[in-house]
Amino acid sequence: MKFFLDTADLAEIEEAASWGVLAGVTTNPTLYARIGGKLADFPRHIERICELVDGPVSAESVAMTRDEIVRDGRELAQIAPNVVVKIPTMVEGLAATRTLAQEGIPVNMTLCFSVPQAIMAARAGARYISPFVGRFDDISEDGLAQLEQVVQAVGNYDFSENTVGGQRVEIIAASVRSAHHVAQAALMGADIATVPFATLKKCVQHPLTDRGLDAFLKDWEKVQKA
């Protein structure tokens, strides 16, 4: 499973990239607003993320009609070769995904909450599909079970005739809120987990690692004094 960072924060991206595990970034309008982003700066901001990351960078269209989404998608794709256009799962989004995929522009279909949505996204030519986990948990439903169903259903079929360059559709476990979500996503075979920075940091931590390291350091002090 690959790790994407779910953020628009350049410092977080730079730090995570330095760890050697970062394969991509996903942004959304909320994440851009959270860092105080302004509309006029958006293309340059995405460009800077693309310079920091050696991998796909999702930038979202907020348009509501297929023509506007396609126009946004073409503009976003001009920013850098690693831009992926993020489009919500809806009728207009499917139609725009079809057009963009036929033009060779990769799409990440987002806000996916069901197997039929995921299958339709794949058929329309999405390169990535983002089932959301945490938002199901927020409404007391089992987000991981929903993700598992999407991974299994999409894996049952070959969608390569619909995707850009005949590439395999990849499932991005999104709305990830914990290391447990990451572990379960990997066990069920999700291709990617897009993870907030704080959660990514927790993924590398374990209390037994800390305890073991502490003991090693103390024992090494004894060795130095012996």
Q: Which is nearer to ligand E4P, 119 or 174 (CB)?
A: 174
Strand, helix or coil for residue 173: strand
Stretch 134-163: interaction string toward ligand E4P, x if CB under 6 A: xx----------------------------
Of residues 86-125, those binding ligand E4P (CB under 6 A): 110
Q: Is residue 184 close enough to count as binding ligand E4P by CB under 6 A?
A: no
Strand, helix or coil for residue 50: helix
* Residue pair 171/154 in contact by the 8 Å Cβ criterion: yes
**Radius of gyration of the chain from Cα atoms?**
19
The DSSP result for 64-96, as a single string, is -SHHHHHHHHHHHHHH-TTEEEEEESSHHHHHH
Q: Is residue 26 close enough to count as binding ligand E4P by CB under 6 A?
A: yes
Stretch 51-90: interaction string toward ligand E4P, x if CB under 6 A: ----------------------------------------
80/36 Cα distance (integer angstroms): 22
Of 2, 38, 86, 222, which is the active-site residue? 86
Strand, helix or coil for residue 132: strand
Q: Which is nearer to ligand E4P, 120 or 192 (CB)?
A: 192
Binding site for ligand E4P (CB under 6 A): 6, 26, 28, 110, 130, 132, 134-135, 174-175, 194
